[in-house]
Amino acid sequence: MNEAAGNWLIRGVNAVVGDAVAEDAAIVVKNGKIARIAAGGDLPPGEADGLAEVDGGGGWLLPGFIDMHVHGGFGSDFMDASAAAYDAITSFHASKGTTRMLATTVTASREAIEAVLEASAAYRGRPMPYAALAGVHLEGPFISELWPGAQNPSFISPPRLDWVEAWTSRYPGLIKQLTLAPEKEGAADVIAHLARGGIVAAAGHTDALYAQVEAAAEAGLSQAVHTFNAMRALHHREPGTVGAVLSDDRIHAELIADGHHVHPAAIRLLVKAKPRDRVILITDAISAAGLGDGGYELGGLGVDVVNGVARLREGGSLAGSTLTMIDAVRFMLTHTDLGIAAVSRMASANPARQLGLQDTTGAIGIGLAADLVLTDADFRDVSHTWVEGRLVHGGSQAG
């Protein structure tokens, strides 16, 4: 079938193409790649012959979302380290428009982290039926004891370059991001090793002073994890971690846009301070995403979700989120003055570039992978999601 071969005509959509919107567009997908973008739907005779067709009905066609920071969903966690769990997570988030993601760990034992690396490598080594794992994000265990957030403090470790060298040697190309507290002794060596290997070194769960973050950026630090959360705040005499993130354009800022982790006014401040290509929307979603209120677990710690907000049972710290990428996009459109092209960039193109995937995905462009999301006019419902031209959510899914 043409669907299985990745051959589609998607018509009647408002397509976000770079910084513009192609209205009433037709998108031709052949062999899993975008072959033509026709504003107004005008196609040469015969161009659509034999293609499986989807009528977008005036909805929005966006580049697939890329989530660099997601722990789980629909009852499963990447720490479960099993193909069944990874299928559940990637299927759920694909239904919300995510086409690629990083399997994100928590601060845990070395053995538990290595189990995730092994499981992720195996999962990526076979056909992935839903959203694709682009790699692994190690969140910890080299974080600050002062800012554990929902990370299990029992497993916090000083930065261990020997561990990181062993992981990157055994699993080349698998680790795409590592979060650590850059002020800790030994962190600079780890950051430099990551930067040399093209791995995103990110500051998170950190008490770093402004000067310490700047020194880390010199060493290769290029991202801040869930900006404003679990990091030293801005003060006018000691700008702290937040001050460095806001003012240093070498640092990309992750953002959980759910209205609980960051006040809308602080979000507006962030997008005014940072260049548009330096903000990255993430979910930080945990296993509770998609399942509603109740009791859950994160890294061995009890979590209660009430009215969609996840908090540690002991202490009440925010414990990840139940956010999805489509909800983050809608929140940004509602609570900032950004248009859909700018917000789409934060959900797709910016993380693609950070992961070195900009020549493959992250935008709607000729020759790029058909990683696509079709939503309604209000950005509430995702009707179709394609990964490299395969329909992984909606309609008649093909393997």
The secondary structure of 183-233 as a DSSP string is TSTTHHHHHHHHHHTTPEEEE-SB---HHHHHHHHHHT--EESSTTSSBPP
- How far is Cα 274 from Cα 20, in angstroms, rounded to an integer? 21
CATH class for the domain made up of 65-354 = alpha beta
- pLDDT the model gives residue 40: 86
- How far is Cα 355 from Cα 362, in angstroms, rounded to an integer? 10
Please give the order of strands across the beta sheet that includes 132-139.
Answer: 65-70, 98-104, 132-139, 175-180, 200-203, 223-224, 252-256, 279-282
- How far is Cα 158 from Cα 153, in angstroms, rounded to an integer? 12
- How far is Cα 276 from Cα 273, in angstroms, rounded to an integer? 9
Q: How far is CA 86 from the centre of its chain?
A: 15
Copy the structure tokens of residue 227. Answer: 């900006």
Is pLDDT above 80 for 4? no
In the chain, what percentage of residues exceed pLDDT 70? 98
Copy the structure tokens of residue 159. Answer: 């930065």
Among residues 70, 71, 117, which one has the least CA distance to residue 298? Answer: 71
- What does the pLDDT average to over 298-302? 94
- pLDDT the model gives residue 3: 60
Among residues 358, 355, 362, 356, which one has the least CA distance to residue 136? Answer: 355
Catalytic residue chosen out of the listed positions 207, 248, 258, 284: 284
- What does the pLDDT average to over 371-388? 98
Q: pTM (2 decimals)?
A: 0.97
Beta-bridge mates of residue 285: 321
Among residues 77, 62, 69, which one has the least CA distance to residue 256? Answer: 69
Could you read off the pLDDT of 158-196 as tens digits, one per residue? 999 999 999 999 999 999 999 999 999 999 999 999 999
- How far is Cα 219 from Cα 191, in angstroms, rounded to an integer? 6
Q: Is the dihedral of CA 288, 292, 293, 295 positive or negative?
A: negative
- How far is Cα 172 from Cα 226, in angstroms, rounded to an integer? 26
Copy the structure tokens of residue 330. Answer: 């809608």
Neighbours of 356 (CB within 10 A): 12
Q: Where in the chain is the domain with CATH 2.30.40.10?
A: 2-62+363-393
284 is catalytic: yes
Could you read off the pLDDT of 30-54 as tens digits, one per residue? 999 999 999 887 888 888 899 999 9
Q: What is the CATH number of domain 2-62+363-393?
A: 2.30.40.10
Q: Where in the chain is the domain with CATH 3.20.20.140?
A: 65-354
Could you read off the pLDDT of 122-167 as tens digits, one per residue? 999 999 999 999 999 999 999 999 999 999 999 999 999 999 999 9
